[in-house]
């Protein structure tokens, strides 16, 4: 990926910190909540500098109380502020689903439009040697909740652009940032570039098969595409970016050309992102057939054990095998 | 400061409203506040225009006490477009933030952390406090602990009001909750806490006013426990489990009768005036019901409005 | 459905109470936890008589604390008891997902087989005029969790047979009972009949289209089938009963005959049960095409408003329309 | 009753074990207990064969103190099949229920309600108590409130031990938690609570023994707060935020040095014996590491074993 001359190369965490800082400057009503996001700067250093610049009133270190973190964020947002709540591990989003799903996602509807909840819940997903309770990807659960927007960037530019869109949206948004993306770097356009919801990104053009992925698995898909290219298989890799709403048009146009779709995700295949993506494409093509395969984590908890974690997660080899099997 | 008479009339209006609604079982079940009017009225008396009130699902008394239009509440409870929530919320979710009634939420304990957030927003704006009413049942929920802690650490302008009617559906407080009194739950967090007779509207009003004053003064959150009694079943579709004599003893403590007697003893009220106020309340309730009945249901085609 | 002469006709709640009572007599280690399940007998009277027969030590009224209810049940089960935890509204299962998903579903795996969690979480799903926070169906979320079994009966006999199987299973089970089934009655075989996991039921034989449903929507599907029969459309209605594991074979055999599949569920279509069912059938038929349609709740919160609730939920008319559209 | 020397040696073994592991950064991060050994050892000294101990993710000291084999623990931490959990749990999930160590759980506060359930199972069986160690950070979680309440209402044989090292990662206790002391959290539930110096192994042992006796006596749950200090960073991959002088002051309170000094002052220990015990502990740690290094990783093909 080569950006314009003016573009700057930044780490994923820097893209997030920059988006947060710029939006806090732009909107004095924006308040951040999270564990160790103050002086410490966040578990992934993605909050670096914000506490020093905006102070303890707007960059709030919280107790280890995910239900209250999200509930307070929801209440504050509904009452006139704008809130971002950082959940260090998506596994612990489970502790705060009641205020997010039972209140925030329904507040506008149940009050007949009287309330809006401009809230962003930033939840860090994925496995990186941290074990069964620090590795889960449950974004598919939230995709199914009416009233919620769900986005999951794979690049620094999209992290920046989608977080900005989320921080200007007037409803609740789940922003999924994958652990393994933090050490990655990417180009950020010199000029502020927001990324709209519901718009996928073609990460790699190709003609033989469409691979749909999101967050870290976009990199897995691209690695597989490189291998397959050497075998003469030309993969189109689509970075979904926005899971709810989904950009069905981009997927449909790609599958119209390739006739084959492989979905890749780090979460479970069952009732996952991929199966929904394939169904939306099928519904949009009303019945016109195409080949489909899904690649996801194996149906087991994700152990911190290096051997078992690797065995459980989707990797380029499994994606490659799925593509070969589909095209053979 | 609301007069003794204003407090009484507010309770009469609530009672009459619920009695009118109770006569109409044709709209699904309802969650009545009969017997608990003094808590809602006493707490609302301590709140001003800049304040916000949040409640549990048992919210008719609180919404009326906060001044939300009776017709709009009745319409909401009957599922009409003219309701406070355009008929979308219904029983358990009444809301009118513009009137200072941020709203009810039917998840037990579910409005506690939300209220802390509302308090934070008000503190940031620099005006107003948030009050959150919840039942004894909510005191078993972890949300109360997390709310007490963040409210104390951040000194939020939050008045936590436990409307303790002694039961969570069929479960007596003592069977489900170790703390005695429930106000003791605030102590570890060094949050000032008071327990009052929730059947005495003036006692509730005084305690709420005093605690609200501290909160407005920047001293952080406060906890008010009001010992009340529910006269009706948990909901109009729930079977009664309490003994007849227990119910009779509760009804003997009717907060409306008590306030009327007190005023009469103080020479502030005569039988004729009391009867007139009763009639006024009854007429207002009938009017609210008529308004609601005349109102239209939402169009089924509007089912996807205001989702996102 | 006509049962054997010896069969008795019972209400759904009676089938549950009977299964519980018999299993408590059979296994002294079985303890029940729930709100108002003691003298009160449960919100749906499905615990009637158990407190009187087995006492306060084994039929435990709990505080309103779903996280502790499930956590205590999990710990008790892992330490040698067998527990059933009753969650009166599936919406509040969200408050107890941490102990269920992060502990119970992973305990056996993460301890290398040292711990087992013989726990049943009974969660009452579905809408019946109770509003946005008392109507949700989130069984699809739990279907995706490795380590969990998920069952959802539609009849009294299956409620009895599946609950018994769940109460003898050595791992965690989510037992979904739908509110609208409580007023229904059905036949219970005279002899104790357990229903195994992973076995669907053909609720109605047919040759033109396969309708897959679970819990209350089985009745919706059957009603639609009656209407369609009058139009000469012969529907096969499959009651999934067990969502995890899924009985793919029965579905595949049916679709092999009908060539068309309509899935019906009361939860959301997105990442729901139906989309997974269709994908499993497709994967089992490797690519051999068939027509598919899904019917589910509209993407909105479910209001207690009678007009809006009816507009949101799938009904026989919508199922019928989906079948007609698919076959036309 | 463990002797003073036994307590000291248990702490020495833990310290040596962690130092040996610390020398090997090639296996991902670890959560060390250095500085907090006295809490684990003192609490374990109050537990018997019928009891079960549960902990937070910071669990090496507790597992060793409970008598779980050092080689099996080391193997688990290095992801080997010979580990307590067959290498599946790893850091944060050590467990050996058969040895009375029900296990660690890496969700902050996540083991509290589980421990209440374990206590209920033990009470039903009629033998043993459950003890649950958790950090100050867990005191902000609603799970503690719900656990305190059900444990009190059901009089569960549960010893709640707050290993209060003053920090949740970088967050000082006072910034996140209003209660002071944290033991005050037990009071509303009328649960006996004690706060002791967590750097004094004999003080922890005495308090734990006394509270455990009450629990065994059927008097219900108890709460023990131990004020400790973490010598290392939160995890081996976390940056340090505490000032050097604060850390120096903490290290000056080393529970192992303190216990050795106390025994020497009491004439129970001489330098030679102390050195011998140190060497013994070091040798045992090296042996554990050698065992773990020699052990095999699980086969990747076993990834789907023990799921259901
Ligand atoms: C989290 C949650 N669990 C269970 C319920 C079901 N429920 C509705 S009202 C109620 C009783 C609440 O008792 P209390 O808080 O004392 O309020 P009261 O009904 O006495 O006013 C329960 C358990 C719920 N609404 N929310
Ligand atoms: C529910 C939850 N939220 C956040 C985390 C991330 N986390 C891991 S350890 C830790 C600090 C816990 O502090 P404390 O309870 O005092 O234990 P200590 O690390 O000091 O031993 C946090 C926040 C977690 N594991 N679980
Ligand atoms: Mg109550
Ligand atoms: Mg700590």
Pocket test of ligand 1: the residue of C64, C87, C135 to mutate, having most ligand atoms within 8 Å of its CB, is: C64
pLDDT per residue over A121-146, tens digit each? Answer: 999 999 999 999 999 999 999 999 99
Consecutive H or E run containing B256: helix B255-265
Taking the Cβ of residue D265 and every Cβ of chain A, the question of whether any pair is shorter than 8 Å is answered with no
Interface test with A, best of D59, D144, D170 (most A CBs within 10 A): D170
Distance from CA of D132 to the nearest CA of B (A): 18
Position B90 pLDDT exceeds 50: yes
d(CA B194, CA B184): 9
Catalytic: which of A14, A23, A46, A134? A134
Ligand nearest to the CA of B91: 1
* B149–A68 CB contact, under 8 Å: yes
Task: Give the residue-averaged pLDDT of C240-253.
Answer: 98
Cross-chain Cβ contact C64/B106 below 8 Å: no
Cβ of residue D169 lying under 6 Å from some atom of ligand 2: yes
Quick check: is A214 catalytic?
A: no
Between residues D27 and C130, which one has the greater pLDDT?
A: C130
SS3 C250: helix
Rounded to a whole number of angstroms, the distance from the CA of A7 to the nearest CA of chain D is 31
Q: Does position A3 have pLDDT exceeding 90, yes or no?
A: no
Which residue has the CA at smallest separation from atom 21 of ligand 2? D135
Contact C134 B110 (CB under 8 A): no
Q: Which chain A residues are closer than 8 Å to C102 by Cβ? A: 91, 94, 132-133
| Of C271, C101, C246, nearest in space to A271 by CA | C271
pLDDT at D36: 98
Position A5 pLDDT exceeds 70: no
Sequence-distant (6+) residues with CB within 8 A of C70 are C85, C87, C96, C99, C100, C104, C121, D113
Ligand 2 atom with least separation from CA of D165: 20
pLDDT of residue D164: 98
Residue-level pLDDT at D26: 77
Residue pLDDT, tens place only, A10-51: 999 999 999 999 999 999 999 999 999 999 999 999 999 999
Q: Which two tokens stand for residue B229?
A: 């009694």
Beta bridge partners of A60: A33
Contact C176, C218 (CB under 8 A): no
Which residue has 């009137």 as its token pair?
Answer: B99
pLDDT at C3: 44
How do strand C242-244 and strand B130-135 relate by DSSP bridges? Answer: unpaired
A134 counts as catalytic: yes
pLDDT tens track for A184-231: 999 999 999 999 999 999 999 999 999 999 999 999 999 999 999 999
In 10 A of CB A9, how many CB atoms?
11
Mean pLDDT for chain A overall: 97
In whole angstroms, give the CA distance from residue B276 to residue B273: 5
| Site from D146, D177, D188 to mutate, B interface, most B CB atoms within 10 angstroms | D188
Q: Is the pLDDT of residue B74 over 60?
A: yes
Distance from CA of D258 to the nearest CA of A (A): 32
Helix (H, G, I), strand (E, B) or coil at C135: coil
Q: Let me know if C322 is exposed, middle or buried by CB neighbors in 10 A (0-12, 13-18, 19+).
A: buried
Q: Coil, helix or strand for D191?
A: coil
Q: For the residues C209-216, what does the mean pLDDT come to?
A: 98
CA of D173 to the centre of ligand 4 (A): 8
Considering chain A, what percentage of its residues have pLDDT values greater than 70?
Answer: 98
Residue D291 structure tokens: 């065992």
Q: Which of these, C264, C252, C257, lies nearest to C207 by C-alpha position?
A: C257
C-alpha D180 – ligand 1 centre gap (Å): 31
Question: Which residues fall inside 5 Å of ion ligand 3, going by CB?
Answer: B 135-136, 165, 167
Dig out the tokens for C84 from the structure.
């059933």
D-chain residues near A311 (CB < 8 A): 300-301, 303
**Cβ–ligand 2 contact at A35 (below 6 Å):** yes
Q: What is the mean pLDDT of residues D182-210?
A: 98
**Residues of chain C positioned with their CB less than 8 A from the CB of A282:** 292
Which atom of ligand 2 sits closest to the CA of residue D135?
15
Structure tokens, C53? 């027969």
- Is residue B26 predicted with pLDDT exceeding 90? no
Pick from B121, B149, B308: CB nearest A80: B121
CB of A88 closer than 6 angstroms to any ligand 2 atom: yes
Give the whole-number percent of chain C exceeding pLDDT 70: 98
Q: CA nearest B234 in C: which residue? A: C43
* CA-to-CA separations, A262 to A224, A236, C66, C262, in angstroms, rounded: 12, 10, 39, 24
Question: Which of D86, D107, D238, D299 should one mutate to test binding to chain A, selecting the residue with the greatest count of A CBs within 10 A?
Answer: D107
The pLDDT assigned to A2 comes to 45
> Which chains have 3 or more CB–CB distances shorter than 8 Å to chain A?
B, C, D
pLDDT at C2 over 80: no
Mutate to test the pocket of ligand 2, among A34, A44, A62, A64 (most ligand atoms within 8 A of CB): A64
CB contact under 8 A, C244 and A289: no
Residue C48's pLDDT is 98
pLDDT tens digit sequence for D299-308: 999 999 999 9
Q: What is the pLDDT of residues B202-229, one digit of tens each?
A: 999 999 999 999 999 999 999 999 999 9
pLDDT value at A296 more than 80: yes
Torsion angle of alpha carbons D29, D35, D37, D40, nearest 10°?
-80
Mean of the pLDDT values across residues D129-155?
A: 98
* Alpha carbon of B74 to ligand 3 centroid (Å): 23
Q: Is the pLDDT of residue A4 over 60?
A: no
ipTM of the prediction: 0.98
pLDDT in tens, C255-299: 999 999 999 999 999 999 999 999 999 999 987 999 999 999 999
CB contacts < 8 A (A, D): 109
Q: Which of C14, C23, C46, C66 is catalytic?
A: C66
> Is A133 close to D302, i.e. CB distance below 8 A?
no
> How many Cβ atoms sit within 10 Å of the Cβ of residue C6?
10
Residue of chain A nearest B51, judged by CA positions: A79
């Amino acid at each position: 990926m080569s950006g314009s001359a003016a573009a700057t190369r930044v780490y994923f965490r820097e893209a997030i910190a920059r988006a947060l800082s710029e939006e806090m400057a732009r909107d004095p009503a924006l308040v951040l909540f999270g564990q160790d996001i103050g002086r410490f700067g966040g578990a992934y250093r993605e909050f670096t500098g914000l506490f020093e610049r905006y102070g303890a009133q707007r960059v709030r270190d919280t107790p280890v109380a995910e239900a209250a973190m999200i509930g307070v964020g929801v209440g504050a947002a509904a009452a006139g502020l704008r809130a971002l709540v950082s959940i260090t591990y998506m596994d612990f989003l489970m502790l705060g689903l009641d205020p997010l799903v039972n209140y925030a996602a329904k507040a506008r509807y149940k009050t007949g439009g009287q309330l809006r909840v401009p809230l962003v819940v930033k939840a860090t997903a994925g496995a990186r040697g941290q074990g069964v309770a620090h590795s889960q990807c449950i974004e598919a659960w939230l995709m199914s909740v009416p009233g919620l927007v769900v986005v999951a960037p794979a690049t620094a530019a999209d992290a920046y652009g989608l977080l900005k869109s989320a921080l200007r949206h007037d409803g609740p948004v789940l922003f999924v940032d994958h652990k393994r993306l933090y050490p990655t770097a990417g180009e950020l356009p010199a000029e502020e570039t927001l990324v709209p919801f519901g718009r996928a990104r073609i990460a790699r053009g190709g003609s033989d098969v469409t691979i749909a992925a999101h967050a870290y698995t976009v990199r897995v898909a691209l690695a597989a595409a490189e291998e397959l290219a050497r075998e003469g298989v030309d993969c189109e890799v689509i970075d979904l970016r926005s899971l709810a709403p989904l950009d069905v048009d981009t997927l449909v146009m790609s599958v119209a050309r390739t006739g084959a779709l492989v979905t890749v995700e780090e979460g479970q295949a069952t009732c996952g992102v991929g199966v929904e993506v394939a169904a939306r494409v099928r519904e949009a093509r009303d019945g016109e057939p195409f080949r489909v395969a899904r690649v996801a984590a194996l149906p087991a908890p994700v152990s911190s054990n290096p051997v078992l974690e690797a065995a459980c997660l989707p990797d380029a080899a499994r994606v490659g095998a799925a593509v070969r099997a589909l095209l053979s | 400061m609301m007069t003794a008479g204003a407090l009484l009339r507010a309770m009469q209006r609530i009672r009459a409203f619920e009695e009118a609604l109770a006569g109409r079982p044709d709209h699904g079940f309802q969650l009545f506040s009969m017997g608990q009017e003094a808590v809602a009225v006493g707490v609302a008396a301590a709140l001003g225009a800049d304040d916000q009130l949040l409640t549990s699902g048992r919210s008719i008394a609180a919404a009326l006490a906060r001044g939300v239009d009776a017709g709009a509440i009745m319409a909401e409870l009957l599922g009409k477009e003219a309701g406070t929530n355009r008929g979308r919320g219904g029983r358990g979710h009444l809301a009118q933030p513009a009137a200072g009634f941020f709203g009810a939420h039917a998840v037990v304990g579910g409005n506690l952390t939300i209220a802390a957030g509302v308090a934070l927003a008000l503190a940031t704006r620099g005006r107003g406090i948030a009050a959150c009413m919840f039942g004894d049942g909510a005191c078993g929920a972890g949300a109360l602990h997390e709310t007490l802690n963040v409210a104390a650490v951040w000194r939020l302008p939050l008045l936590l009001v436990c409307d303790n009617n002694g039961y969570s559906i069929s479960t007596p407080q003592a069977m489900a909750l170790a703390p005695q009194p429930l106000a003791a739950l605030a102590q570890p967090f060094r949050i000032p806490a008071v327990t009052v007779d929730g059947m005495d509207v003036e006692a509730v009003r005084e305690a709420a006013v005093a605690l609200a004053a501290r909160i407005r003064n920047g001293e952080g959150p406060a906890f008010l426990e009001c010992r009340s009694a529910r006269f009706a079943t948990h909901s109009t579709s729930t079977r009664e489990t309490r003994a007849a004599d227990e119910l009779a003893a509760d009804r003997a403590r009717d907060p409306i009768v008590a306030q009327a007697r007190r005023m009469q003893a103080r020479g502030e009220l005569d039988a004729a005036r009391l009867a007139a106020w009763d009639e006024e309340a009854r007429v207002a309730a009938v009017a609210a019901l008529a308004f609601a009945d005349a109102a239209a249901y939402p169009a089924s085609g509007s089912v996807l409005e205001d989702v996102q």
